[in-house]
C-alpha cells in the first residue's frame, strides 16, 4: 500500500504543478508537449484509478475473508431430478380452446406442456434442454403415443402461443430429448 500512497502523492504533485501558470523562457510549448488540460485530466484519471483499485481490493478481501461472503458468490445446487426419461418432443400452439388446458389451468406459452398423466403427474416440473416446463395438459395423441411413431417413446407436447415460436423451440430441442422429471 505504501507504493500506492507514493504514487498518489507524486500524481497530486504533478497536478499542482499543472495548476500553476506555464513560465517558459520563450512562453511557447515545444511540439511534443501535451496541453495542460489534457495532462491534468490524465493525471486525475490515474489518481481515481489508484483509489478505486485500493477500494476494490479492500472489498474483495472483506467478502472473501468471511465464510458468509464466500457463500454469496456460490449458487445453490439444483436438486437432482427424481427421474429422467427419453421422450419424443412435439409442440402445439394456441387453438380454438384458447389458453385453457384439459385440467382447467391457464396455459403459459413456453412454460406449459402436455403429458401422459399416468406416466408424469399434473403439476410436475420437467426440465428439457435446460428449460423448465410445467405439466398442465394432456391429449389423446400424447396418451396413445401416436406422435412417437415406431419408437413408442413417451410424448411431451410443448405449448406455445404461435406456430413460429413452436417451430423455433423444436429446432432447438430436437425430436427426442432427455427429460428430467422433478
Which of 58-62, 146-150, 161-165, 176-180 has the lowest average pLDDT? 58-62
What phi, psi does 172 have (nearest 5°)? Answer: -70, -45
pTM score = 0.57
Q: What is the mean pLDDT of residues 145-158?
A: 89
Tens digit of each residue's pLDDT (9 = 90 or more) over 24-40: 555 555 444 556 667 66
- Model confidence at 152: pLDDT above 80: yes
Tens digit of each residue's pLDDT (9 = 90 or more) over 72-129: 555 667 777 789 999 999 999 987 667 888 888 999 999 999 999 999 999 999 999 9
Of 42 and 70, the structure prediction assigns the larger pLDDT to 42
Binned at pLDDT 50, 70 and 90, residue 18 comes out as: low
Amino acid at each position: 500500500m505504501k507504493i500506492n500512497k507514493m504514487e498518489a502523492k507524486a500524481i497530486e504533485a504533478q497536478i499542482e504543478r499543472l495548476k500553476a501558470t506555464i513560465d517558459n523562457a520563450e512562453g511557447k510549448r515545444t511540439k511534443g508537449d501535451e496541453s495542460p488540460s489534457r495532462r491534468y485530466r490524465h493525471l486525475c484519471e490515474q489518481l481515481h484509478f489508484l483509489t478505486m483499485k485500493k477500494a476494490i481490493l479492500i472489498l474483495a478481501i472483506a467478502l472473501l475473508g468471511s465464510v458468509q461472503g464466500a457463500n454469496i458468490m456460490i449458487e445453490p445446487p439444483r436438486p437432482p431430478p427424481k427421474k429422467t426419461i427419453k421422450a419424443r418432443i412435439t409442440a402445439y400452439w394456441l387453438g380454438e380452446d384458447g389458453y385453457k388446458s384439459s385440467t382447467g389451468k391457464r396455459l403459459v406459452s413456453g412454460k406449459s406442456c402436455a403429458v401422459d398423466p399416468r406416466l408424469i403427474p399434473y403439476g410436475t416440473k420437467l426440465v428439457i434442454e435446460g428449460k423448465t416446463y410445467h405439466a398442465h395438459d394432456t391429449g389423446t395423441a400424447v396418451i396413445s403415443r401416436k406422435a412417437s411413431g415406431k419408437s413408442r417413446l413417451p410424448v411431451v407436447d410443448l405449448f406455445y402461443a404461435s406456430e413460429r415460436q413452436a417451430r423455433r423451440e423444436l429446432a432447438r430441442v430436437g425430436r427426442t430429448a432427455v427429460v428430467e422429471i422433478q
